[in-house]
Amino acid sequence: MAKTIQAIRGMNDCLPEVSGTWQKVESVLRQVVASYGYQEIRTPIVESTDLFKRSIGEVTDIVEKEMYTFEDRNGDSLTLRPEGTASTVRAGNEHGLLYNQQQRLWYMGPMFRHERPQKGRYRQFHQFGVETYGLDGPDIDLEVILLSARLWKAFGIEKHVTLQINSLGSNEARQAYRETLISYLKERADKLDEESLRRLESNPLRVLDSKNPNVQAAIADAPSLLDHLDEESKTHFDSLCERLTQAGISFEINPRLVRGLDYYNRTVFEWVTESLGSQGTVCAGGRYDGLVEQLGGKATPAVGFAMGMERLVLLLTTLSEDALDTSSADVYVTAMGDDAQAYALEVSEHLRDTLPNVRVMMHCGGGNFKKQLKRADKTGARFALLLGSQEMQSREVAVKPLRDGQEQQTIAFNALSSTIADLLNA
Ligand code: ATP
Ligand code: MG
């Protein structure tokens, strides 16, 4: 036998047993963003490597060690996108969507990072994100956060996620804070790990969110970013906090929250859960007013977030078994005898004509009723239709409930689609 070929480590197949859940998640996401007037943008999966280096930052986990970078046949350096914001800005600049305009956009699709695969962390994963442009007030920061909060409600998981926010201030204020932080960290250099030491000069803010508990303990009394905000950023942040309270969104201010990508300024936030172990951040975002200009456009304020869809699906299926809908049909059509098969086809097509949202599966491959009903049960269908020569002659259909122990009933062909619609909605 030939050796079987396996998928790349950390890159998952989405099998039929979960693809139904994914489709439902995707449709809720689409519906919620549409209800806020956001429009979809789709960008290529491959971009020039420079795009990510220039936006995400050279001294970040992503650019230092996580990118899938390769040379194409022309010798150009290309990278599989590790996130969606850089591509959105690139496309916005390229097509004139951002210059003097306001945009509210969303995207969804696969991202690639060469990380150590574990629960909630993969090498190909999916993000759903929103990005807004041309708006600098805290009203849009609030809207973006409200939108994310509505998503949790739509999925019924609002009690399992909490919001953490922080402000990184302006670039100038952060620069001044950086100096203060560097001298603080230098005094404790002997207690820092190798990674933190390496970042001390190049990206000291990232030392603040080190995952090493020893480092965390050593820098417990580090000066707080929030005490070093410029006046305007402070007003912006206070106003956002006030609006969140008015909107009934609870939040925690976490002065250590700095985010792993360089392009953020002012508002940053994360939605975290305790139900997924260490991969607890489900959604993360913030303001990135400098990025559009940094990538060659005119200075344009921007704010957005990205959500890890695998983590969302994991959370949904961890919290409720019902979230996993593995059924493939609502109605399963069985038939005995050659004549009845033609009738079964007529019935099935009639249902598909009149009830396009109902999943109708017609039995193929013959066998007795018992065998056919066994198949029907396996599909998860709620009703089986039983068609024999008698039903065909009288142009009737026997409807057998498969799930809730109700009585079988025989109804006229003409009443079939309204009866099925009622039964499925009941
Ligand atoms: P983490 O600290 O978990 O590595 P990050 O800061 O690298 O996250 P972002 O780049 O902000 O994450 O991505 C936004 C969201 O995408 C994360 O909050 C997470 O839900 C999801 N995500 C990021 N990397 C992965 C991955 N390798 N596998 C699955 N989901 C991921
Ligand atoms: Mg990461």
Question: With the CA atoms of 203, 206, 208 and 211 taken in that order, what torsion angle do they form, in degrees rounded to the nearest 10?
Answer: -140
Give the DSSP letter string of 314-350. HHHHHH-GGG------SEEEEE-SHHHHHHHHHHHHH
C-alpha 42/C-alpha 22 separation (Å) is 19
Q: Right CATH number for 331-425 from 3.20.20.60, 1.20.120.350, 3.40.50.800, 3.20.20.140?
A: 3.40.50.800
C-alpha 332/C-alpha 382 separation (Å) is 8
Residue 406 is predicted with a pLDDT of 84
121 lines ligand 1 (CB under 6 A): yes
Give the DSSP letter string of 237-285. HHHHHHHHHHTT---EE-TT---SSTT-EEEEEEEE-STTTT--EEEEE
What's the token pair of residue 415? 């009443």
What's the token pair of residue 399? 């409807």
C-alpha 27/C-alpha 15 separation (Å) is 18
Per the CB < 8 A criterion, the answer to whether 396 and 412 are in contact is yes
Mean pLDDT by 10 residues, the chain (426 residues): 94 94 96 98 98 90 94 98 98 97 98 96 98 98 98 95 96 90 92 90 88 89 92 97 98 90 90 92 96 96 98 93 85 93 96 97 94 96 96 96 90 96 91
Q: Which residues contact 253 (CB under 8 A, 6 or more apart)?
A: 164, 165, 166, 226, 241
Give the DSSP letter string of 357-407. TS-EEE--S---HHHHHHHHHHHT-SEEEEE-HHHHHHTEEEEEESSS-PP
206 lines ligand 1 (CB under 6 A): no
The angle subtended at Cα 75 by Cα 69 and Cα 80, nearest 5°, is 25
CA–centroid distance, residue 385 to ligand 1 (Å): 47
113 lines ligand 1 (CB under 6 A): yes
Can you state the percent helix, strand and coil of the chain, rounding each to 5?
45, 20, 35
Q: Domain boundaries in the chain?
A: 16-169+243-322, 172-228, 331-425
Per-residue DSSP letter, 120: T
Q: Which residues contact 390 (CB under 8 A, 6 or more apart)?
A: none
Per the CB < 8 A criterion, the answer to whether 419 and 426 are in contact is no
CA–centroid distance, residue 59 to ligand 2 (Å): 13
Residue 282 is predicted with a pLDDT of 97
281 lines ligand 1 (CB under 6 A): yes
Residue 321 is predicted with a pLDDT of 77
343 is in an annotated binding site: no
- Round the CA-based radius of gyration of the chain to a whole number and report it: 27
CA–centroid distance, residue 370 to ligand 1 (Å): 49
C-alpha 365/C-alpha 77 separation (Å) is 52
83 is in an annotated binding site: yes
Task: Tell which one of 83, 125, 303 to mutate to probe ligand 1, the residue whose CB is within 8 A of the most ligand atoms.
Answer: 125
Residue 258 CA: which ligand is closest?
1
- Sheet strand arrangement including 360-362: 360-362, 331-335, 383-387, 396-401, 409-412
Residue 270 CA: which ligand is closest?
1
CA distances from 379 to 197, 359, 367, 372 (A): 57, 11, 17, 11
Strands 396-401 and 46-48: unpaired
259 is in an annotated binding site: yes
Atom of ligand 1 minimally distant from the CA of 307: 15
CA–centroid distance, residue 7 to ligand 1 (Å): 21
CA–centroid distance, residue 62 to ligand 2 (Å): 7
Atom of ligand 1 minimally distant from the CA of 312: 20
C-alpha 398/C-alpha 401 separation (Å) is 10
What's the token pair of residue 110? 């696969």
Residue 129 is predicted with a pLDDT of 98
C-alpha 325/C-alpha 16 separation (Å) is 10
Strand-pair partners of 411: 397
Residue 276 CA: which ligand is closest?
1
C-alpha 271/C-alpha 252 separation (Å) is 10
Atom of ligand 1 minimally distant from the CA of 129: 14
C-alpha 171/C-alpha 230 separation (Å) is 9
3 state SS of 172: helix
Atom of ligand 1 minimally distant from the CA of 279: 3
Fold of 16-169+243-322: BirA Bifunctional Protein; domain 2 (3.30.930)
Residue 203 is predicted with a pLDDT of 87
Residue 40 is predicted with a pLDDT of 98
Residue 416 is predicted with a pLDDT of 96
Q: Position of tokens 């969110």?
A: 209
10 lines ligand 1 (CB under 6 A): no
282 lines ligand 1 (CB under 6 A): yes
C-alpha 40/C-alpha 51 separation (Å) is 21
Atom of ligand 1 minimally distant from the CA of 270: 18
Residue 7 is predicted with a pLDDT of 97
CA–centroid distance, residue 198 to ligand 1 (Å): 22
CA–centroid distance, residue 218 to ligand 2 (Å): 23
188 lines ligand 1 (CB under 6 A): no
pTM higher than 0.85, yes or no?
yes
Residue 288 CA: which ligand is closest?
1
Residue 405 is predicted with a pLDDT of 79
